[in-house]
A = this chain, B = another copy of it.
Amino acid sequence: MEIANIDVNSYPGSEKVYIDGKIHPVKVAMRKVNLTPTVTIAADGDRIMKPNDPVYLYDTSGVYTDPSVEININAGIPRLRESWIERRDDLEQLPAITSDYGRARENDKSLDTIRFASRYAPRRAKEGCKITQMDLARRGIITPEMEYVAIRENGQLAALGIESHITPEFVRNEIAEGRAVLPANINHPEAEPMIIGSAFRVKLNTNIGNSALSSGIEEEVKKAVWSCYWGGDTLMDLSTGDNIHETREWIIRNCPVPVGTVPVYQALEKVNGDVNALTWEIYRDTLIEQAEQGVDYFTIHAGALKAHAEMVQERLTGIVSRGGSIMTRWAVLHDEENFLYTHFDEICEILARYDVAVSLGDGLRPGSIHDANDRSQFLELDVLGQLTEIAWNHGVQVLIEGPGHVPMHKIRENMDRQIEKCHHAPFYTLGPLTTDIAPGYDHITSAIGAAQIAWMGTAMICYVTPKEHLALPSLEDVRTGVITYKIAAHAADIAKGFPGADIRDNALSKARFEFRWKDQFNLSLDPELAKRYYVESHEGDDHFCTMCGPNFCAMRITRQLVDDCAR
């Protein structure tokens, strides 16, 4: 199989720059937006040009926007962390993949036509070695990944050599304490290190993935790259249709951000969708299969217990988490406890060997504002808190997933309880949607909730696209979803007072006031759209918008006013 190259260009008016580390030989990619000068006319009629400083932006697009790197989807992107990993003495390279399923797929000739061509032997922790970023942080080690994210978080400040409180040591400590997660499977060296924690920039996750009904491998790889281009910080591959294994390989080998999955989806496909036939053994093999491909974090619904099943009948909309509904039904059918809960220690042992983080799924998240903050939701959260401690004992990094559908006045309780019950492990929420009456606009109903909960301390928000509840998102929906969540995340960064968060806003506002339209477009989250809207209705005069007309531009009148005052 050959996939056509992705048509992602460099950002307009921008260049890719790399900031060097001081401890390790890391080069941290950023996007530098170059601005045009401010032009004023002096009393004698001379044009006076004042330069405007460039703006450095956090950049999730990887090498796709570096014109010096030749992109070849069929070979995968450069393996940034490979040399850092090679240097470690706590890892071993395996002669071959070790999962039964992975081997079966590898030996299946009929898959040759859809398989990603290059294969890499997987790595794993040497026996007895504790190798996760959390383990290393606890031992006081600042890894290259930690230094990378410290520089990355500082953004403009790092580019200008200005220090903030976010040092490599600060990063190390946040990871050691479990307050931040640095998802970095040793088998996904293509990913640029990033960090998820309330002390850092708010991150956003995008979901892609084919279902039995639609979309092929090529489209999913395109969505992955597209998501990174617009600003997605992590990517979950939620494929549930055919060829999940091969689709995932294509995505991971081309993905510059951490990749997450929900392994029970694939496990269920392996038993043809028969919940009753699911077993721990199949699930376990799936974990190993995916860990060796390079998945950086697994959503695991280990907190949805058998005892919760009865409570679901109190709800208006039952269980809306796919993983939660599968595991609860399994427990009821078997009259046994959820096997993800009973085998949680073993799960952590596997994850620890590859440095896969666990994202503890909220299988009982509310699916309507009616069900928000109810008994089953909060009982499950208590269990997630217990599981957090178990994972940390294994050195496994932990995220806690949260709702869902929550009206504004009930959001705060979600955050406060999560912090208390889950010991400051980073919270990762889906929205929440603040009303249920707007299918087709749930990116907006949920961005309203996401901005608020992120301001309160949620570390990562999972995007929602306009098609939520209705259909799978198209490429355009992915773009809309990502931009909408960039807005929510950035609004929260500003409200949190994150160092330098408002530099971009101020530069854009100054450009707006000075009618430097190109700079305004280039600094915006979606330069192409902003420019298109403008150009479509614009008729030649650069010095007022089409909104107000020539006599009514407040900014123009203000500029005259300033001149009047100065006289």
Interface residues of A (CB under 8 A from B): 211-214, 240-241, 265, 268-269, 273, 275, 309-310, 312-313, 316-322, 324-326, 328-329, 332-333, 367-370, 407-409, 434-441, 443-445, 447-448, 451-452, 455, 466-472, 483-484, 486-488, 490-492, 494-497, 502, 504-506, 508-510, 512-513, 520-521, 523-526, 529-530, 533-534, 536-539, 545-555, 557-562, 564-565
State whether A316 and B211 are in contact (beta carbons under 8 Å apart), knowing that A471-B534, A495-B408 are contacts in the complex.
Answer: no
The number of times this chain is found in the oligomer is 2
What is the CB-to-nearest-CB distance from A321 to chain B, in angstroms, rounded to a whole number? 6
List of B residues within 8 angstroms of A538 by Cβ:
471
State whether A317 and B513 are in contact (beta carbons under 8 Å apart), knowing that A435-B490, A440-B524, A487-B444 are contacts in the complex.
Answer: yes
B547 A407 Cβ-Cβ under 8 A:
no
Interface of A is mostly: helix
A434 B471 Cβ-Cβ under 8 A:
no
State whether A536 and B370 are in contact (beta carbons under 8 Å apart), knowing that A448-B488, A488-B448, A549-B241 are contacts in the complex.
Answer: no
A451 B546 Cβ-Cβ under 8 A:
no
* Complex CA distance for A22 and B494, rounded to whole angstroms: 52
B545 A324 Cβ-Cβ under 8 A:
no
List of B residues within 8 angstroms of A558 by Cβ:
312, 318-320, 325
List of B residues within 8 angstroms of A508 by Cβ:
436-437, 439
A268 B552 Cβ-Cβ under 8 A:
yes
A-B contact pairs, 27 of them (CB 8 A): A212-B550, A213-B549, A265-B552, A310-B565, A312-B558, A312-B561, A317-B512, A319-B557, A329-B560, A367-B554, A368-B512, A369-B509, A370-B509, A408-B452, A408-B495, A409-B494, A409-B496, A435-B487, A435-B491, A437-B504, A438-B486, A438-B524, A439-B521, A440-B529, A448-B491, A467-B537, A471-B536
What is the CB-to-nearest-CB distance from A552 to chain B, in angstroms, rounded to a whole number? 5
Q: CB-nearest residue of chain B relative to A538? A: B471
* Complex CA distance for A435 and B547, rounded to whole angstroms: 20
